[in-house]
Amino acid sequence: MKKIVQKSIILILLVIFLFGCTTGEKEQPTPTSAPTETATSTATAEPTITPPPTPTSTPLPLNGQQTQYDIELTINYYNRFITARSRSLYTNKTQFPINEMIFIIYPTIFQNAIYVKSIELGNGTPVSNFHWDGHRMVIPLDTPLRPGEQIEFVHDFELYMPNRAGTFGQTDHQLNLSYWFPMIPPRTDEGWDYYEISLVNSQFIGENFFFENADFNVRLEFTDRAENMKVAAGVLPQEVDGTLLYEMKLARTFTLSISDVYVIAERDVLGTKVLSYTYPEEASAGEAAADLAVDTIKLFTEYYGPVIRDLVTIVEADFEHNMEYDGLIFISRGIFMFYNGTPETNLTIITPHEVSHQWFYSLVGNNQAMEPWLDEAIATYSEALFYEHYYPDLLSWWWANRVDGHQPSGYVDNTIYLEAGYEAYRNSVYLNGAHFMQDLRDTIGDEAYFNFIKAYALENRYQIASNEDFFSTLSLYTDEDLTTLFEEYFANPPVMP
Ligand SMILES: [Zn+2]
């Protein structure tokens, strides 16, 4: 016991979790600060869904008009150099013409990390009349793109991977490629829907990016020693003559993590493969993470519907936070290193959280800058559901350590631009968010809650859901007066339709 306590202290000192999908870091256990939940309550009514009226025919997601990204990249791992060509075929899915295209080019936030060699239209016509707006490339269109029309751009670029531990960067043992190619933001009838990075007191707060679902075809080659490379992705590749071919449908991003030292644990669950990539030193924790992901997928398939993905990949990250992408999640190295073989550990807290983002983030999108609670409160409360089902005796421990030890307060509907900074953001959106979800469930009852949350997850697949979507679905599953509850937790209390 003493050892475990010492480890916890060291971990708190070592690991400062900054943003995104965060934390799991804990104060000393304070089991006396009683959570309201009863640890013995076992696993909840099976949701038997009574869906609201649905359209008679099921339309294709995004009417089959999702953006098509075709990307070729060649990686020189040992020289940290990448050449790439990205072709983006975009359809105007709105009711109004589009006068300028926007590409988010995230690597531009790092000094000299990207060189855009050329931009062409799909027919080969060079594009030179563009300008930069922060890390966005703005391309005025000579002829507005009318509703239903398509336009294609080809970006040739080189990446000089920054020497940093991050979701975009390379360390001695790991190359991480997230948001690495020109990405088109969501478009509404009002215009392009993008938000600035939130930086408060030198800390990044939350995630400002979110994207529509798109189809990805990615061809990956290595310049040398391809046989050494272990490539983690959100989908399994085909290998043809040394080239890795990835085809990923209806994903919001395409993320890779590459190392020449990864060891891999493999599982299968309900038609989904789980692969867990860790450094050799953490191989046994990697096996444990794979098992946790299997249990998570089993449970949340019941609560939220099928995960849809063929693959869920877990990667041990060199950096000090956790992050979700489509089919791939990063969990910080410290969490693997301090895995203690028991469920009273951050790996057991964080794995269900990150895997739950395959539903709330990947399948059901949301505006992560302005309405971050829609994925983060649900993901944090999903941790509670995991403990409630698999380790009911530890549910009160989870509430005490993960939530109430931080004395959470603040509005659940805070944005990432909260001036009070990172901890206030986490405490309100994630932690008080979990309390809101529990109070909502306690108020409307288990049957209504689980029917509602599953309906919300199913109805908003391949969309970017909003607060309004959440509460309009909720209104179909309860007649309770929720005014007081909403006023307690929301700066802008929703009015149920
Ligand atoms: Zn999260």
* Last residue in a domain, options 320, 337, 354: 337
How far apart are the CA of 22 and the centre of ligand 1, in A? 6
How far apart are the CA of 69 and the centre of ligand 1, in A? 26
Residue 109 is assigned to a structural domain of this protein: yes
Do residues 134 and 102 lie in contact, with contact meaning Cβ atoms separated by under 8 Å?
no
Are 72 and 13 in a shared domain? no
Sort strands 311-317 and 328-332 into parallel, antiparallel or unpaired.
parallel
How far apart are the CA of 424 and the centre of ligand 1, in A? 16
Question: CA–CA separation, 292 vs 391, rounded Å?
Answer: 12
How far apart are the CA of 92 and the centre of ligand 1, in A? 31
Are 31 and 90 in a shared domain? no
Are 358 and 225 in a shared domain? no
Are 330 and 382 in a shared domain? no
Look up residue 444 and give its DSSP letter: H
Look up residue 59 and give its DSSP letter: P
* Last residue in a domain, options 305, 337, 369: 337
How far apart are the CA of 79 and the centre of ligand 1, in A? 33
How far apart are the CA of 187 and the centre of ligand 1, in A? 24
How far apart are the CA of 73 and the centre of ligand 1, in A? 29
How far apart are the CA of 291 and the centre of ligand 1, in A? 20
Tens-binned pLDDT, residue by residue, of the chain (497 aa): 333 433 333 333 333 343 346 533 333 333 333 333 333 333 334 444 444 545 556 789 999 999 999 999 999 999 999 999 999 999 999 999 999 999 999 999 999 999 999 999 999 999 999 999 999 999 999 999 999 999 999 999 999 999 999 999 999 999 999 999 999 999 999 999 999 999 998 888 999 999 999 999 999 999 999 999 999 999 999 999 999 999 999 999 999 999 999 999 999 999 999 999 999 999 999 999 999 999 999 999 999 999 999 999 999 999 999 999 999 999 999 999 999 999 999 999 999 999 999 999 999 999 999 999 999 999 999 999 999 999 999 999 999 999 999 999 999 999 999 999 999 999 999 999 999 999 999 999 999 999 999 999 999 999 999 999 999 999 999 999 999 999 999 999 998 87
How far apart are the CA of 160 and the centre of ligand 1, in A? 29
Residue 307 is assigned to a structural domain of this protein: yes
How far apart are the CA of 181 and the centre of ligand 1, in A? 23
- Summarize pLDDT for 133-142 with one digit per residue, the tens: 999 999 999 9
Are 203 and 352 in a shared domain? no
Question: CA–CA separation, 497 vs 477, rounded Å?
Answer: 12
CATH number at residue 141: 2.60.40.1730
User: Domain count of the chain?
Assistant: 2
How many CA atoms, within 13 angstroms, populate the side-chain half-sphere of residue 238? 6
Are 326 and 370 in a shared domain? no
Residue 278 is assigned to a structural domain of this protein: yes
How far apart are the CA of 21 and the centre of ligand 1, in A? 3
How far apart are the CA of 53 and the centre of ligand 1, in A? 31
* Last residue in a domain, options 286, 315, 337: 337
Backbone angles phi, psi at 366, to 5 degrees: -160, 165
Are 424 and 330 in a shared domain? no
How far apart are the CA of 493 and the centre of ligand 1, in A? 23
How far apart are the CA of 322 and the centre of ligand 1, in A? 8
Residue 429 is assigned to a structural domain of this protein: yes
CA neighbor of 70 nearest in space, from 83, 91, 82, 88: 88
Q: What is the dihedral of CA 450, 456, 459, 463, to 10 degrees?
A: -150
Q: Is the dihedral of CA 433, 438, 444, 446 positive or negative?
A: positive
Write down the pLDDT at residue 59: 80
Residue 207 is assigned to a structural domain of this protein: yes
Are 407 and 351 in a shared domain? yes
Write down the pLDDT at residue 294: 98
Question: CA–CA separation, 342 vs 63, rounded Å?
Answer: 46
How far apart are the CA of 178 and the centre of ligand 1, in A? 16
What distances in angstroms separate CA 274 from CA 347, 385, 396, 429, one per listed residue? 16, 21, 29, 29
Strands (E) in 134-213, as ranges, are 136-145, 150-160, 168-170, 175-177, 187-188, 191-192, 199-200, 203-204
How far apart are the CA of 23 and the centre of ligand 1, in A? 9
Question: CA–CA separation, 19 vs 308, rounded Å?
Answer: 27
Are 286 and 408 in a shared domain? no
> Which residues neighbour 197 within 8 Å (Cβ) at sequence distance 6 or greater?
109, 204, 208
Write down the pLDDT at residue 333: 98
How far apart are the CA of 430 and the centre of ligand 1, in A? 8
Write down the pLDDT at residue 82: 98
How far apart are the CA of 77 and the centre of ligand 1, in A? 30
How far apart are the CA of 172 and the centre of ligand 1, in A? 27
Are 254 and 158 in a shared domain? yes
Are 153 and 30 in a shared domain? no
Are 275 and 413 in a shared domain? no
Residue 82 is assigned to a structural domain of this protein: yes
Token digits for 329? 């999640």
How far apart are the CA of 138 and the centre of ligand 1, in A? 30
Do residues 425 and 19 lie in contact, with contact meaning Cβ atoms separated by under 8 Å?
no
How far apart are the CA of 87 and the centre of ligand 1, in A? 30
Question: CA–CA separation, 383 vs 355, rounded Å?
Answer: 10
How far apart are the CA of 428 and the centre of ligand 1, in A? 13
Write down the pLDDT at residue 28: 31
How far apart are the CA of 405 and the centre of ligand 1, in A? 19
Domain that holds residue 385: 2-53+340-489
Write down the pLDDT at residue 496: 82
Residue 14 is assigned to a structural domain of this protein: yes
Burial, 341: exposed, middle or buried (Cβ in 10 Å; 0-12, 13-18, 19+)?
exposed
Strands (E) in 10-161, as ranges, are 68-76, 81-91, 98-104, 114-121, 131-133, 136-145, 150-160
Residue 494 is assigned to a structural domain of this protein: no
CATH number at residue 48: 1.10.390.10
